[in-house]
Amino acid sequence: MLVYKGHYTEKELSYYKGMAEKNGISFELASEEKDIIYYINCGSADVSKPDRNSDPITDFEYVGHGHPRGFYIEPRGNDNYKSFNSEKFEARAFDVNANIYLYGCGQGLTGSALHKLYPQSTEPNLIDNMQRLTKETIVGYSVTLEWGKSLGSFVPYSLGLSVCRGQRKLNKALYS
């Protein structure tokens, strides 16, 4: 399990580490984008311990903020995030039959589908780029972005709206 430190508290990080240990999964903490890249490509955030050749990735799941063009890591404020695409991941780091699941905004969108929604978009697409890493199917999930332009969803857009409306009513009742 690789966790990007970001703004997690020590208590939260301790919880994730405990869950990894409980399930027999190694735990690595990344503090920077390069730590993530090293972990994927070398098998450790510590580049001096490369063992990915003997231990290729067979299951890869990303859960976090994202966009059809990349993984979001560090919030910069005003809903702006530092991001990176997977072109930095080396194909040799992945087993040819790896299972890849992406849970982030718009990450189930292919380049052609993205171009239909955003014709001006010409940047590399994340899921299309991830296709080079495995012969197996890549499953990308998405949430709704930009005022109702649905990009596929594991959280139905209508549910998201009802949760927001309910939260507004609750806030109004609490703070009025």
What are the backbone dihedrals phi and psi of residue 20, each rounded to the nearest 5 degrees, phi first?
-65, -50
Predicted TM-score (pTM) of the model is 0.64
The domain limits of the chain are 57-175
Burial 113-149 (b: 16+ CB within 10 A, else e): bbeeebeeeeeebbbbbbeebbeeebebbbbbbeeee
Encode pLDDT of 11-54 as tens digits: 988 998 999 899 998 888 888 888 888 888 888 766 566 678 78
Lookup result for tokens 């990349």: 70
Encode pLDDT of 113-136 as tens digits: 666 766 776 666 777 777 777 776
3-state helix, strand, coil in the chain (%, to 5): 35, 25, 40
Q: What pLDDT is attached to residue 121? A: 64
Give the integer Cα–Cα distance in Å for 176 and 159. 25
Encode pLDDT of 148-167 as tens digits: 444 433 333 333 334 344 44
